[in-house]
Every structure is written in structure tokens, then in C-alpha cells.
Amino acid sequence: MQAHNRTPLFDGLLKHINNHPVPFHIPGHKNGQGMEPTFRDFIGKNALSIDLINISPLDDLHHPSGMIKEAEALAADAFGADYTFFSVQGTSSPIMAMVMSVCKPGDKIIVPRNIHKSVTSALIFSGAIPIFVHPELDTRLGIAHGITPLSVEHAIQQHPDAKAVFVINPTYYGVAADLKRIVDISHQYNIPVLVDEAHGVHIHFHDQLPVSAMAAGADLAATSVHKLGGSMTQSSVLNMQGDLVKKEHVQSILSMLTTTSTSYILLASLDAARMYLKTKGHKLIENTLTLAESLRQQINQLDYLACPGDDLLGTNATYSYDPTKILISVKQLGLTGYDVEKWLREHYQIEVELSDMYNILCIITPGDNKDTIQYLFTALRALVETYQTQAYEKKVHVSAPPIPVLQMSPREAFYSDTEVIPLKEASGRVSAESIMVYPPGIPIFIPGEIISDESLRYIEANVAAGLPVQGLEDESLKTIHVIKEMQAIR
């Protein structure tokens, strides 16, 4: 623990600027002197003084040998990993690096259907063939959970040549499957497990939270420190352990995907976040759990709103959950989560994390206190008072989009000749684009899949419900790029 009171990277930066070096290098704003003064004054001297890139005294993220190496080693120790790589490109780049580290063109990878769009990009970059597994649906809440150990086992039995199993743990809504069991099953076949831990950086630091990827024995995990761990937006880590995947290979692929102008503000914030999580995380999370639980209980005393807790558990895909995620079902008020998001913004200036057809999601973190919790509760109580006279229970129509047939690999589709046709006439054609309802981001089809009538009806239903159906180049959803069909040669 002693070593975790140090921040070698942040300290190294401070030492560098305290020597008052005279810069003749990029960035050209030179401590803010060469930039628009209104922005400079707003951002402030301190931030600008460490807005540096990899000059020699400051080590190099692409070949760490000094203070970055030391900071990454401390992070690995904190996360229980063999190695930790820092990322200045969010969790999206580490996710792509994980997939590209294990898959070459034509290799199979088992993935849940509700993947983040970075996984779709990874499939295109790597040329991998996705073997999709349906996530479990929660028909009460109208959301998708994770994949079950049984579905992973079935997928492996059908595709024992798969090069990896990809798992989202926990989901955006904070629900986790039995990850340890999934890892054990996959390892019986020598298949590495890659975890999208975008919403779980904190879970490693408290035993009342779902088990973390590293603690469950997973091989690689892309973990968003910036989302829930207190570092700056866009800073993240890739953790790894074991010998199913080679460290040097991961490092070189991550490097291929990473800017050469790595932000030291972001890197230093990762170093500080590791210290924060490791030395104070348990206590802070304990307090966060208490706040979240008191809010959950208060919300559940209001008519027409429900905030699930332990009742989430007990299915094959709901092994544990993160109580700091306050998921509020608003369907009994006769409103959509989308309506509630807007109402909270307009009347209370509250911004929620996400809304969907039936729920809103609010995250409680060490950044909250009794006052913020009370404010949210007051707003929710006012919401109920406003709408209770006209309340009726909205029926949950939850259906995952059908999984289409994959005609060609997402990469082949991406590089094929395409043409633009009206979306309503696209049934039977092979898509060259991705389309999804986001958040939570379940693709309706991805490049290489055959567009069916059923998929088109699903899109229409979501558009009619006012949900954000995104991804097509034509944002009005009138046209779509499909693969050009070859003329038969007679």
C-alpha cells in the first residue's frame, strides 16, 4: 500500500515544470502563451503547464521505460493484473486492441450481440468473424443484460476453434453475469476471455460490488478509469494477466492504434486515479453505496417509480449487480425514460446518464453527497406529483432485434463496392453499415449481415417510439449503403 501513496508520473511532470524549462517543442501554445486568451484564462495556468507530449524527460507511452512504466506497474498492482497499459483514447482503443491481439482475418470470436460500437470497429479492423450470443432480456425492465455461462458453453461447443470469448461485465445498467464461471468454461478450452469493463473500474475496489475481470481470472480487460474511477475523460487502461495472450503483441497493437501525441494531462490523471482508488477507494465506495442505497429506498417509497436492487438477481445472466447504478423504471407513470430525461433537464437542470423506453439511469459516485442525492429525490417526487393523475402503466414491449444472417465478414463488407438505396427497399440486401439503438447500443445489423423485413420493422418501431436509432451515414434513416450485387454473366 505504501507504494500506492506515490504518483511517479504526476510527480515527474511536476518536477519537470518546476525546473522552468524553456520550451522549443510542441505544443506550440507554450504554457498557454500562444493561444486565445479567453480559453487560456478559463482553462488555467496549471492545466496548461502540464499539457505536454512525449519529450525525452517525460518517457514515452509507446515505449515506456521511466515514469510511465513505473505508473503502469503500480496500476497493474492496484488492479491485480500482470500488466496495465495506459490509454489516452478512452476504452474504445483498448477494446479494439484486445480483439486485434487475438484475432486475424477469418478467426472466430464469440461476442454478445449488445456490443459497443468499438467492437464492431474491431471486427472490421481485425477481419474476425463474430459468433453472436443473445444477451438475456429483462422483460420487466425492458433492458438487455449480459450473456450467460450456459450460452457461452454452447457457443464454444459449436465453435471450439473460436479465438476468444468477449464479455461485457458489468453492463451499462450495472448487472454482471457469473464472470468467473464464464472464464473457467473458456479456459477449459484454452480460449482467452476479453472483458469490456467500461462500466466497472471501481468494482475491483470493494467486495460488495461484482467481481472484477482480473479477480475473475479474465485474460484482458478494457477498463474505463475515466467513467467511474476519477480520471479525466478519455483516459483508460487495458489490464492483462496470464499467458494465453502475449504482452508484447498487445503492446504493439495498442501502440498502432494510439496517437503519437499522448496527452500528459490524461496520463497524469490515470496515475492519480490509481492512487485515489487504491488508497481511498474502499472507504469512498462504502460511502457511495450507503448514499445509493438510501436513495433507492426513498425512490421505492414513491408510487409509480421503481428502483430495482436485489430483485434484479436470480436469473442466469444476473449473478450480481452494482448498487451505485440507480436504474429507475418510470413505465407506471405512463412516460418514457426519454420524456423523464427531458422533464428533469427542463425543470431541475438534472442530467441523467441515460434514458431508454422505460427507464432512466443515474450514477452515484464519490462525487455525490447527501445534498445531491436529496436534490435528485426531490425532483423525482415532483415528477410523480406532476404526472400521477394521468398515470397509466406503459406495457413493456421488449424484443431484442433479430440476429441477422452473416453473409460475409464485417471487414469484407466494409471493403466491398457499395451502393445507396432507400432503407425501406433494403430487405434481402447485405448491409455495409451498422445501425443501432444507442444507448444501450444493440446493433440491429452490422456490415456483412442480410437485412430482413423483421429488422426493418424493428427500426420503424424504435423510430416511432422516439428512440435514437443511430449509425447510418444518412442520419434521416431514409437511405442505406448496401453491398453492390454482381450481375450474372450469361
Ligand X SMILES: Cc1ncc(COP(=O)(O)O)c(C=O)c1O
Which residues contribute to the site for ligand X (CB under 6 A)?
A: 90-92, 95, 116, 118, 168, 172, 196, 198, 224, 236
**Nearest residue to ligand X, by Cβ distance, number only:** 90
Report which secondary-structure segment, H or E, holds 352: none
Closest distance between ligand X and the C-beta of residue 172, in Å? 5
| CB nearer to ligand X: pick between 167 and 340 | 167
Bridge partner residues of 430 (DSSP): 450
Three-state DSSP class for residue 83:
strand
Three-state DSSP class for residue 102:
helix
Closest distance between ligand X and the C-beta of residue 253, in Å? 16
| CB nearer to ligand X: pick between 357 and 456 | 357
Closest distance between ligand X and the C-beta of residue 79, in Å? 16
Report which secondary-structure segment, H or E, holds 212: none
Three-state DSSP class for residue 449:
strand
| CB nearer to ligand X: pick between 90 and 448 | 90
Closest distance between ligand X and the C-beta of residue 80, in Å? 21
Q: Which three cell numbers stand for residue 262?
A: 499522448
Three-state DSSP class for residue 431:
strand
Q: How many residues does the chain have?
A: 490
Cα separation of the two ends of the chain: 75
Beta-carbon count within 10 A of 88 CB: 21
Closest distance between ligand X and the C-beta of residue 111, in Å? 12
Separation CA 474–CA 384 (nearest Å):
38
Q: What DSSP character marks residue 2? A: G
| CB nearer to ligand X: pick between 67 and 214 | 214
Residue with cell 477481419: 127
Report which secondary-structure segment, H or E, holds 240: strand 236-240
Separation CA 323–CA 276 (nearest Å):
21
Closest distance between ligand X and the C-beta of residue 417, in Å? 31
Residue with cell 423504471: 329
| CB nearer to ligand X: pick between 253 and 483 | 253
Separation CA 287–CA 365 (nearest Å):
9
| CB nearer to ligand X: pick between 227 and 481 | 227
| CB nearer to ligand X: pick between 91 and 101 | 91
Rg of the chain in Å (alpha carbons): 24
| CB nearer to ligand X: pick between 162 and 228 | 228
| CB nearer to ligand X: pick between 67 and 277 | 277
| CB nearer to ligand X: pick between 16 and 325 | 325
Q: Which three cell numbers stand for residue 446?
A: 452490422
Contacting residues for 251 by C-beta, under 8 A, at least 6 apart: 85
Residue type for 332, please?
Answer: Q
Separation CA 371–CA 32 (nearest Å):
37
Closest distance between ligand X and the C-beta of residue 444, in Å? 17
